[in-house]
Amino acid sequence: MTIENVVNAISKAKNIAIIGHIMPDGDAIGSCLALYYSIKRLSKKASLYCTDKVPQILNFLKDVDRFKNEIEPNTSYDLTIAVDCSDINRLGSFKELFLNSPLTIAIDHHSSNTGFADINLVDTNAAATGEIVYGLIEKLSLEIDTDTAKALYTAISTDTGHFSFSNTSTETFTIAADLSRHGLDLEYISRRLYRVKSIERIKLLSRALNSLTMYANNKIAMLTITQRDMLETKAMPSDTENIINYAKEIEGVVLAILIKEINDTSVKISLRTSEELDASELASYFDGGGHKRAAGASINKPLKAVKGILIDKAMSLIKELD
Amino acid sequence: MTIENVVNAISKAKNIAIIGHIMPDGDAIGSCLALYYSIKRLSKKASLYCTDKVPQILNFLKDVDRFKNEIEPNTSYDLTIAVDCSDINRLGSFKELFLNSPLTIAIDHHSSNTGFADINLVDTNAAATGEIVYGLIEKLSLEIDTDTAKALYTAISTDTGHFSFSNTSTETFTIAADLSRHGLDLEYISRRLYRVKSIERIKLLSRALNSLTMYANNKIAMLTITQRDMLETKAMPSDTENIINYAKEIEGVVLAILIKEINDTSVKISLRTSEELDASELASYFDGGGHKRAAGASINKPLKAVKGILIDKAMSLIKELD
């Protein structure tokens, strides 16, 4: 079984590199940290890597400062683990490190996972990679300490919209129940993750909501964030997270779109759909990917051009529904 | 044990009145419904009573229309159960019915519970009365069906701020895990309870956030909603609810203010403070009132004038803190 292969590989390794995906989220960071703590408890060496900065919102987690964005000099790893990455490009600047590693593992829950590692511990039924890491820690026969519980709870909470997305399962609650036994301050974690917001974030939200445009009889809600919005509000890239939900949660909306202008010639789009529409289908039209309900793509076109094409394509998909 | 007394009382009864508290919330309604379903499965008669209307947000629950606000004629009950009521006045217009009942039970989790019934099944460690009803159904050896699970999940979710208040416990998650096994659409319930928002509400939020102004080194955050905002967004008065939290939840904010223009010569102000400041003290300056953390006032002055006076007064209070 795959999980036993992972346990064996970790047991044999001496120095392990753990890599979270570019533009990391709570699941990537939390799962990496939980894995890191567990490997440390097995008295092995480990390094945490991530191309992009850990979002400020996760700063309440211990050891987030251990994530490095450059390879430690004079170090070689006998095992490299990609965490919450659906494909090898999600490793960002650590793709080389991964490819040069004598043995590689991917731990992931995305249905679009390409199976890019030597051992692929992929469970698309898991609501978060954190759930898979939880199972792995059990298999490693390790006790869960407070820091590990906090990291995994954060991973699971953030990837399930705090137990509210459709991926939330009996397993999710069962794991949360167990994690809550390990001295977690659940109210504090919720406050840090969901309630305290920077003024820059609120200013960005204000700008984004201001851009709200409805199409197709209010079935499509579109938000845009321009370079200027980011510059003038002094918002961080991670401040764009969750903004798309304001569009998704409008009564009757079937498709929510967020277009984020990266520079004058490229944008990133995020898509959220209700049951009727497949977000990944729309994303694939732009060479993107994701899940049925949530998908995205990077497009090398100016904002204005993307808007036109995207709305056209979306409108025709909506028409098929009628 | 109290719970066995409750089981015995229910087992012996033939016709049971179930009463939720005045101004009912998700815990009251959900717990009443779950109890009602269980009593019905025991092939007994039962009636649901509540003085006030079930909140619209709970309309997705089956059988909410069974709650009556008047006593059914020509009916007598051999057992009456008060649900989620801390004292007898919470029964509203059904206090008499309760007092005239040959046997009474109270099922509640409030620490202020006065023990007003013959049998008081009160557990102040329970996050919701729904958790206690869950335990009771177990004791009654009844299977949980989908409607019961939905009602109890709603009770527990609403009373814990969807698993985010400090009352959320291992028990809460364990019960949620079990309830989720009974065919619940968890995403749908969350959406109905917390997410679906009208487009008017989102437009109003956008306008309100646009008005955000910070004072006193970002310790004061002020939002305004004008008559024009209400008119042009077509928002309902209830759409202003919760908007002040966007100001309150900004990092470092000690005082959040929302000024709502009622007409050209009057406004309503809402105040929220963190630990350091007394909101009711500031409100009392405008002949308003409230609690330490949340207060408000109605002021017969134009918006612009109130803004000036309010900020002056607030600034002097903040200065006292330094």
Contact B186 A164 (CB under 8 A): yes
> Encoding tokens for residue A46?
């480990």
| A155-184 pLDDT, tens digit each | 999 999 999 989 999 999 999 999 999 999
Judge if B157 and B276 occupy the same domain.
no
Judge if B39 and B188 occupy the same domain.
yes
Using the 3D structure, point to which of A194, A217, A235 is the last residue of a domain.
Answer: A194
| B184-228 pLDDT, tens digit each | 999 999 988 988 788 999 999 999 999 999 999 999 999 999 999
Q: For chain B, what is the domain count?
A: 2
pLDDT value of position B238: 77
Judge if A137 and A6 occupy the same domain.
yes
> Encoding tokens for residue A182?
């390990």
For tokens 């007003």, what's the residue?
Answer: B116
Closest-CA residue to A154 (of A295, A24, A293)? A24
User: How far is the CA of A186 from the CAs of A173, A270, B241, B251, B274, in angstroms?
Assistant: 14, 30, 25, 19, 20
Closest-CA residue to A28 (of A3, A79, A64)? A64
More confidently predicted of A236 and A93: A93
Identify residue B246 by its one-letter amino acid code: Y
Identify residue B204 by its one-letter amino acid code: L
Could you tell me the pLDDT band of residue B290, with boundaries at 50, 70 and 90? confident
Q: Distance (Å, rounded) from C-alpha B216 to C-alpha B255?
A: 10
Judge if B181 and B248 occupy the same domain.
no
pTM above 0.90, yes or no: no
Using the 3D structure, point to which of A134, A168, A194 is the last residue of a domain.
Answer: A194
> Encoding tokens for residue B90?
């919470």
Question: Which residues of chain B does A125 touch, with a Cβ-Cβ cutoff of 8 Å?
Answer: none
pLDDT over threshold 80, residue A226: yes
pLDDT over threshold 80, residue B322: no
Judge if B221 and B176 occupy the same domain.
no
Contact A198 B173 (CB under 8 A): no
Cα atoms in the 13 Å half-sphere on the side-chain side of B224: 18
Give the H or E element holding residue A225.
strand A220-225
pLDDT over threshold 90, residue A197: no
Total residues found in chain B within this entry:
322
Identify the DSSP state of A57. Answer: G
Using the 3D structure, point to which of B139, B171, B195 is the last residue of a domain.
Answer: B195
pLDDT over threshold 80, residue A322: no
Q: Distance (Å, rounded) from C-alpha A69 to C-alpha A48?
A: 9
User: Average per-residue pLDDT in chain A?
Assistant: 95
Give the H or E element holding residue B152.
helix B146-159
Q: Smallest Cβ distance to B187: which of A164, A187, A210?
A: A164
Judge if B125 and B208 occupy the same domain.
no
Chosen from B163, B215, B222, B239 to mutate, greatest number of chain A CBs within 10 A: B163
Task: Find out whether A272 and A287 touch, Cβ atoms under 8 Å.
Answer: no
pLDDT value of position B136: 98
Judge if A156 and A74 occupy the same domain.
yes
pLDDT value of position A56: 85
More confidently predicted of B235 and B195: B235
Judge if A184 and A205 occupy the same domain.
no
| B156-179 pLDDT, tens digit each | 999 998 999 889 999 999 999 999
Judge if B44 and B147 occupy the same domain.
yes
pLDDT value of position B293: 84
pLDDT value of position A242: 85
For residue A264, the enclosing domain spans 199-321
> Encoding tokens for residue B50?
């509540």
Contact B163 A163 (CB under 8 A): yes
pLDDT over threshold 80, residue A266: yes
| A129-162 pLDDT, tens digit each | 999 999 999 999 999 999 999 999 999 999 999 9
Judge if A210 and A186 occupy the same domain.
no
Could you report the predicted ipTM of this complex, rounded to two decimals?
0.80
Chosen from B209, B220, B233, B272 to mutate, greatest number of chain A CBs within 10 A: B209
Identify residue A12 by its one-letter amino acid code: K
Could you tell me the pLDDT band of residue B1, with boundaries at 50, 70 and 90? confident
Could you tell me the pLDDT band of residue B234, with boundaries at 50, 70 and 90? very high
| A41-59 pLDDT, tens digit each | 999 999 999 999 999 889 9
Contact B209 A205 (CB under 8 A): yes
Q: Distance (Å, rounded) from C-alpha A286 to C-alpha A272?
A: 15
pLDDT value of position A291: 83
| A210-220 pLDDT, tens digit each | 999 999 999 99
User: Which residues of chain B are at the A interface, by a Cβ-Cβ cutoff of 8 Å?
Assistant: 161-166, 168-170, 173-174, 176-178, 180-181, 185-187, 190-191, 194-199, 202-203, 205-206, 209-210, 212, 214, 218, 221, 246, 249-251
pLDDT over threshold 90, residue A320: no
pLDDT value of position B57: 85
Which residues, 6+ apart, have CB-to-CB distance to A227 below 8 Å?
A: A261, A262, A263, A264
The pairing of beta strand A67-68 with beta strand A79-83: unpaired
> Encoding tokens for residue B252?
């470092």
User: How far is the CA of B216 from the CAs of A234, B208, B245, in angstroms?
Assistant: 20, 20, 19
pLDDT over threshold 80, residue B49: yes
Judge if A59 and A163 occupy the same domain.
yes
Q: Say which CATH number the domain at A315 has.
A: 3.10.310.30
Question: Which residues of chain B does A205 touch, with a Cβ-Cβ cutoff of 8 Å?
Answer: 209, 246
| B50-71 pLDDT, tens digit each | 999 998 889 999 999 999 999 9
Q: Smallest Cβ distance to B251: which of A196, A205, A251?
A: A196
For B5-36, letters b (16+ CB in 10 Å) and e give ebbebbeebeebbbbbbbebbbbbbbbbbbbb
| B79-135 pLDDT, tens digit each | 999 999 999 999 999 999 999 999 999 999 998 899 999 999 999 999 999 999 999
Could you tell me the pLDDT band of residue B241, with boundaries at 50, 70 and 90? confident
Q: Distance (Å, rounded) from C-alpha A290 to C-alpha A283?
A: 8
Q: Say which CATH number the domain at A63 has.
A: 3.90.1640.10
- The SS3 of residue A255 is strand
Dihedral sign, Cα of residue B168, residue B173, residue B178, residue B183: positive
pLDDT value of position A79: 98
pLDDT over threshold 80, residue B275: no
Judge if B186 and B219 occupy the same domain.
no
Q: What is the mean pLDDT of residues B241-251?
A: 90
